[in-house]
Amino acid sequence: MDIRRLRSFIVIVDTGSITRAADILHVAQPALSQQIVALEEHFGQKLLLRSQQGVSMTDAGHAVYRHAQIILRQMEQAQADASAAGNSLAGRVSVGLVPFSSAATLSVDLLAETRKRHPGILLHLTESVGQTYSQMIMTGRLEMALIHGTGPIKGVKFEPILSEEFFLVAHPDFAIEAGDKPINVSALDGLPLLMPPAYNFVRRAVDTAFTRSRVNLKVVGEVEIVRTLTRAVSAGLGATIMPRAIADRILTESGEPLICRMVSPRIDETLSLCVADGVSLSEPAVAVRDILLELTARLKVPRGQ
């Protein structure tokens, strides 16, 4: 098996086009097409479907894509291990950190600690609202991720890390009193809220809580950028309901004296470490996972301490 064919296959799938892949790989398009033909002959299956819109994978293509990601990562790790034999850990480790969660606050610390302890590890961090991390782990594009939920999802396994309680953050203009006691969801009926889109776990948790309490959830804007959310809440364009770490970040970065209160009934979501099921992590990935678990342990300290 020619490893180059697997790499070409991955690039074609990721770009969705043989033409674009040929440009990226600096390979003539007919030669690239021939590589795919050879790959399909090797597996005895059609791997790609071609159309005017580009290419898409068959079921067999999905299987080969997943294994190709794993094989290429193992080859890269073998090269790193050989180069660093007898020295410190080395290699590339890819980690997904789900936005609008405590995970999103760990990126700089994770990068700093990894550089400090294992300078030979190249850490690749992803924080994207447009991709499903569990699927990226199944296809081999990520080695681990901190995501909301506990599964089950076939092909990945979840290790619950902590439960994130949600807090209301609002401008004083909304006449919500400050206090340590939770504010009841019923008091938020019709309150203009700024939230992530409906497919986001945070939004779904809030939707569920409001529906159960038979309270109207009035979303006046869908925001996927925490910095923008902070500015909008500070300007009084709407309130928001976020996990503690994000609520704290909004309070810290805002120049306004915002109101922050817990919500009752309690709204929360489980943050879990997600890895591929049945695939062992490389030594560098294990080292990064251990650092990640250390950092998340610090997030379990009660608010105000």
Q: What is the pLDDT of residues 265-296, one digit of tens each?
A: 999 989 999 998 877 888 899 999 999 999 98
Residues 243 and 172 in one domain: yes
Q: Which tokens hold the place of 168?
A: 């209301």
Instruction: Tell me what the mean pLDDT of segment 129-156 comes to.
Output: 81
Residues 241 and 126 in one domain: yes
> So what's the pLDDT on residue 83?
67
Residues 123 and 238 in one domain: yes
- Residues with Cβ within 8 Å of residue 162, at least 6 apart in sequence: 102, 270, 271, 296, 299, 300
Residues 15 and 125 in one domain: no
CATH of the domain at 294: 3.40.190.290
Residues 104 and 244 in one domain: yes
Domain count, the chain: 2
> So what's the pLDDT on residue 129?
58
Q: Which tokens hold the place of 200?
A: 């986001």
Whether residue 207 is predicted with pLDDT greater than 50 in this model: the reply is yes
Residues 218 and 298 in one domain: yes
Residues 101 and 12 in one domain: no
Q: Place 138 in a pLDDT band, splitting at 50, 70 and 90.
A: confident
Residues 220 and 305 in one domain: yes
Residues 115 and 41 in one domain: no
Q: Place 305 in a pLDDT band, splitting at 50, 70 and 90.
A: very low
Mean predicted lDDT score pLDDT of the chain: 87
SS (H, E, C) the chain: CCHHHHHHHHHHHHHCCHHHHHHHHCCCHHHHHHHHHHHHHHHCCCCEEEECCEEEECHHHHHHHHHHHHHHHHHHHHHHHHHCCCCCCCEEEEEEECCCCHHHHCHHHHHHHHHHHCCCEEEEEECCCCCCHHHHHHCCCCCEEEEECCCCCCCEEEEEEEEEEEEEEECHHHCCCCCCCCEEHHHHCCCEEEECCCCCHHHHHHHHHHHHCCCCCEEEEECCCHHHHHHHHHCCCCEEEEEHHHHHHHHHHCCCCCEEEEEECCCEEEEEEEEECCCCCCHHHHHHHHHHHHHHHHCCCCCCC
**Would 105 be classed as within a structural domain?**
yes
Whether residue 304 is predicted with pLDDT greater than 60 in this model: the reply is no
- Name the range with the highest mean pLDDT among 5-9, 51-55, 175-179, 210-214: 210-214
Instruction: Tell me what the mean pLDDT of segment 225-229 comes to.
Output: 91
Domain boundary among 63, 80, 109: 63
Q: Place 87 in a pLDDT band, splitting at 50, 70 and 90.
A: low
129-138, 185-194, 229-238: range with lowest mean pLDDT: 129-138
Residues 276 and 174 in one domain: yes
> So what's the pLDDT on residue 303?
47
Q: Which domain holds residue 132?
A: 89-305
**Would 69 be classed as within a structural domain?**
no
Residues 45 and 153 in one domain: no
Domain boundary among 47, 63, 79: 63
pTM: 0.67
**Would 138 be classed as within a structural domain?**
yes
> So what's the pLDDT on residue 131?
61
